[in-house]
Homo-oligomer: A and B are copies of this chain.
Amino acid sequence: MIGSGWLAIAGLGPGDAALITPEVTDALTHATDVIGYIPYVARIAPRPGLRLHASDNRVEIDRAGHALRLAAAGARVVVVSSGDPGVFAMAAAVFEALEAGPPDWRDLDIRVLPGITAMLAASARAGAPLGHDFCAINLSDNLKPWPLLARRIALAAEADFAIAFYNPRSRARPDTLDAAFAILREACGDDRPVLFARAVTTAEEALRIVPLPAARGAMADMRTMVIVGSSRTRLIARAGAPILYTPRSA
Nearest chain B CB to A90's CB is how many angstroms away? 9
Contact between A91 and B136, CB atoms less than 8 A apart: no
A106 contact set on B, CB distance < 8 A: 236-239
Contact between A239 and B148, CB atoms less than 8 A apart: no
Residue of B26, B86, B123, B127 near A131 (CB, 8 A) is B86
**Stretch from A44-52, A191-199, A207-215, A241-249 contacting the other chain:** A241-249
State the oligomeric state as a number of copies.
2
Instruction: Give the CA-CA distance A212 to B130 in the complex, in Å.
Output: 27
A128 contact set on B, CB distance < 8 A: 85-86, 91-92, 95, 112
A155 contact set on B, CB distance < 8 A: 155-156, 158-159
Contact string against B for A residues 177-188, beta-carbon threshold 8 Å, 1 for contact and 0 otherwise? 000000000000
Residue of B16, B151, B156, B250 near A144 (CB, 8 A) is B250
A23 contact set on B, CB distance < 8 A: 16, 18-19
A127 contact set on B, CB distance < 8 A: 91, 95, 112
Contact string against B for A residues 58-87, beta-carbon threshold 8 Å, 1 for contact and 0 otherwise? 001000000000000000000000001111
A225 contact set on B, CB distance < 8 A: none
Instruction: Give the CA-CA distance A123 to B89 in the complex, in Å.
Output: 13
Q: Report the nearest B residue to A22, measured CB to CB.
A: B18
Nearest chain B CB to A132's CB is how many angstroms away? 7
A21 within 8 A of B: yes
Contact string against B for A residues 1-19, beta-carbon threshold 8 Å, 1 for contact and 0 otherwise? 0000000000001001111
Interface residues of A in 97-152 (CB under 8 A from B): 98-99, 106-107, 110-117, 120-121, 123-125, 127-138, 143-145, 148, 151-152
Nearest chain B CB to A7's CB is how many angstroms away? 12
A28 contact set on B, CB distance < 8 A: none
Instruction: Give the CA-CA distance A137 to B162 in the complex, in Å.
Output: 11
A205 within 8 A of B: no
Contact between A107 and B144, CB atoms less than 8 A apart: no
A26 contact set on B, CB distance < 8 A: 18
Contact between A238 and B21, CB atoms less than 8 A apart: no
4 A-B pairs besides A18-B23, A132-B138 with CB distance below 8 A are: A20-B22, A84-B120, A91-B131, A96-B245
Closest 6 CB pairs of A and B: A92-B131, A135-B135, A91-B128, A106-B238, A155-B159, A112-B124
